[in-house]
Amino acid sequence: MSQPARQEPTIAAIATPAGPGGIGVVRISGDQALTILGKIFVPTRPRPRPASHRLVHGWIVDPNRRTPVDEVLAVYMAAPRTYTREDVVEIHCHGSFLVLESILGLVLAAGAQHADPGEFTKRAFLNGRIDLTQAEAVAELLEAKTKQGLQLAVNQLHGRLHDRVAIIRDLLVSILAVCEVAIDFPEDDVDILNPAELVTRLREQAEAPLEELIASAEQGRIYRDGISAVILGRPNVGKSSLLNSLLREERAIVTPVPGTTRDTIEEYLDVKGMPVRIIDTAGIREQAEAVEEIGIRRARAKLAEADLVLLLVDASQPLTDDDRRLFADLTDKTVVLVANKMDIADRDQALAGIATAFPGVAPVAISAKTATGIDRLEEAIFTAVARQQNPPDPGHACVPNLRHKNSLVKALTACRQVAGGLGDNLPADLIAVELQVALDHLGDIVGATTTDDVLDMIFERFCIGK
């Protein structure tokens, strides 16, 4: 039997989501995977040795009671052509939680250890099948909320971020090699280093790409985490109706009685590929009874955290002091003004009144009840966000998380120190030290220099079984 790249305990876990389904999978990885399968699996057509990467029909049987547990398909995959580069077994059974738990219990009793969150992917990284950017891309892929977010994760899994970092690392290694030669021949170090040429190469091939990647971190966050958009307005202007209309489902209770919404309601919405956490809030007004006041406080708390505010006004009625007061309180927020109830309003009169009250602000005219104008509102939401942060091209590499961004910032700082040292004609050994600092920070991104505690923190966010 092929030996895994690293000798580790054999691990197992349920690899499919909780809940009933047509098929469930129990995954086993490690040098004892095939031995464990042999203790609990009885193939319909016994063979001396199962072929690798081929499904085999049979039954999982409790070895103590000799009773069948489930009819399954089992597949043995020999190292290194597996996800973890270890021997891997997958048992494809019926998707009942009780069946999956029973089979996993038999696997653990036969000698496997229960896998920690992300342990299969961690082994794939430790055994050299993927680098750390690709390992983290697995989590990004599982958590993607839109097709564009999914595409960014796939790009990362495909190695686009790794490739861009590798190009910068190769440049720094080549400059470090020049410094090493200059250290060996100190009498010629100025001629060997050629500071002006090296500074130009650093600027064009290291600093500029690093700056571009750092800028992409905030842009990529939009597609990865999305934005928070609060629907704000006084009572009974149609906030809950707007939430339902945006979601295309009856998510919030709608009644003619003002103050129906007493708490916040949150759902995710896909706006042109951008995940938007849309939050319906209690109507805000000056005079409110005790329970309604609690809802208003919660609405203001969500408002403080919001990236965007959809300020809703009732176009079928004259604007009130509460409308004006709310708008005046939003000077530090990105606001999309929404004129609702156009199905029952005098459009020209309503828009003229809004233009007088809020000069220079172009409202989006909608009817939440009939869903008229919702497409225009979604366009306005996307445009408002794009003005703050240009969303990235989903076909390009983006920095996926804050850890990567911090490492890139530190690498950029070190590169600038190198350029400054070259400009000041510092000795080659001092230049080499800063170059190594930059390389170490870039190594943190791909996992070449990442410490064990950081690795543990990264993989703890994974689900069990992945």
Which range, 255-264, 285-294, 308-317, has the best average confidence (pLDDT)?
A: 308-317
Whether 316 contacts 290, CB under 8 Å = no
CATH superfamily of the 227-388 domain: P-loop containing nucleotide triphosphate hydrolases (3.40.50.300)
- Using CA atoms, how far residue 449 sits from 139, 170, 171, 206, 424, in Å, is 21, 16, 18, 19, 30
Considering only CA atoms, which of 94, 98, 110 is closest in space to residue 41?
A: 110
Q: In what order do the strands lie in the sheet with 24-29?
A: 41-43, 54-62, 67-77, 88-93, 24-29, 11-14, 113-114
Does residue 277 or residue 99 have the better pLDDT? 99
- Residue 43 pLDDT > 80: yes
Cα dihedral 207, 212, 215, 221 sign: negative
Tokens of 27: 């995954």
Residue 178: predicted pLDDT: 86
> Hey, what are 317's tokens?
């009625």
Local confidence band at 195 (pLDDT 50, 70, 90 cut-offs): confident
Task: Look at residue 427 and tell me whether its pLDDT is greater than 90.
Answer: no
Tokens 């009572």 appear where? 235
Q: Pull the structure tokens for residue 198.
A: 């090296």
Q: Over the stretch 335-375, which tens digit does the pLDDT of each residue have? A: 899 999 999 988 888 888 888 888 888 899 999 889 899 99
Has this prediction a pTM greater than 0.75?
no
So where are the chain's domains?
Answer: 11-131, 139-221+401-446, 227-388
- Residue 321 Cα distances to 234, 285, 329, angstroms: 10, 9, 12
The residues, any chain, with a CB within 8 Å of residue 448's CB and separated by 6 or more, are: none
What class does CATH assign to 11-131?
alpha beta
pLDDT at 259: 47
Is it the case that residue 219 has pLDDT exceeding 70? no
State how far the Cα of 153 lies from the Cα of 149, in Å rounded to an integer: 6
Place of tokens 């998380």: 401
Q: Helices 195-202 and 160-184: crossing angle, nearest 10°?
A: 170
Q: What's the rounded Cα separation, in Å, for the pair 453 and 450? A: 8
Q: Please, what is the end-to-end C-alpha distance for the chain in angstroms? A: 24
CATH level 3 topology of 139-221+401-446: Four Helix Bundle (Hemerythrin (Met), subunit A) (1.20.120)
Q: Could you tell me which residue, 407 or 455, shows the higher pLDDT?
A: 407
Under the banding of pLDDT at 50, 70 and 90, the label for residue 264 is low
Count Cα atoms within 13 angstroms, Cβ side, for 281. 30
Query: Is residue 336 left, alpha or beta, with left meaning phi > 0 and alpha meaning psi from -120 to 50?
Result: beta
Cα-Cα-Cα-Cα dihedral sign, residues 442, 443, 445, 450: negative
165: closest CA among 458, 397, 454, 414? 397
Q: Which residues contact 114 (CB under 8 A, 6 or more apart)?
A: 11, 12, 13, 104, 108
